[in-house]
Chain A
Amino acid sequence: MMNDLFTPRDAVNVRRFNLWMIVTALFFAAGTIVLGEGFIPRVPVAWLFPFVGAVLGFGALRAYVHFLRNADELLRKIHLDALALGFGSGVIFMPVYRLCERLGAPKLDSVDPIIIFVLAWAIGQWRGFRRYSAVEAQ
């Protein structure tokens, strides 16, 4: 049974990517708390946290690339447009905010531009789905 937006293959691939992302995000959140609160002393074994985080991150990246390469062509176009919007927004945001910091704006954490990227990426997808939405009767 075909979904409006996803073919069955796309649905499986996007579910796999989402699962990787959830596991990766939960791991990073847990790692930040555990290492930040000092539950684990900063011994060599603690370096496993960033290592495992990187492995999970690459797993998510691989799942996303697999999804994109096999995606329905319109879905791929929507995602590539959204990625361009996200990347461009992040690149513009960084130097612009650097100037704002010099004018007195609060200093940002180094990971904050990622939020801009993800937000713009999500907005780009929403715009794409709206633009090509199937509003006509089947």
Chain B
Amino acid sequence: MNNQLRVLRAQRRWSQADLAQHVGVSRQTINAIETGKYDPSLPLAFAIARTFESQIEEIFQPAGSPSTGEVPTNREDTW
């Protein structure tokens, strides 16, 4: 999953810790989402979208091409 978290954060001059505090998670979670290591749950994605006053799909986009309907592989399945 791709996301615009870093850009949106930069626009507001927020640190990862600031965003983490706004949505009630750890800084490690925000960092893992930004770096694409972790995909947030739906409630957290909604909370982030609400914080940035955006729609979820404006912040998060699937890694696979939407036009082909390709299902993105889950990178977290590796050991």
Contacts and interface: CB of A to CB of B under 8 A. Distances in A.
The dominant DSSP class at the A interface is: loop
Contacts of B31: 132, 134-136
Interface string B20-60: 11001111110110110110110010000000000000000
Interface bracket on B: 20 to 34
B27 A4 contact: yes
B32 A73 contact: no
B15 A72 contact: no
A74 interface: yes
A136 B26 contact: no
The dominant DSSP class at the B interface is: helix
Nearest to A129: B28
Contacts of B40: 73
Interface residues of A, number: 20
B16 A132 contact: no
Contacts of B20: 2, 7
B1 interface: no
6 contacts: A4-B26, A4-B28, A7-B20, A7-B25, A73-B44, A74-B28
Q: Which 9 A-B pairs have the closest CB atoms?
A: A134-B31, A74-B29, A132-B32, A138-B15, A134-B28, A72-B26, A72-B25, A4-B27, A138-B16
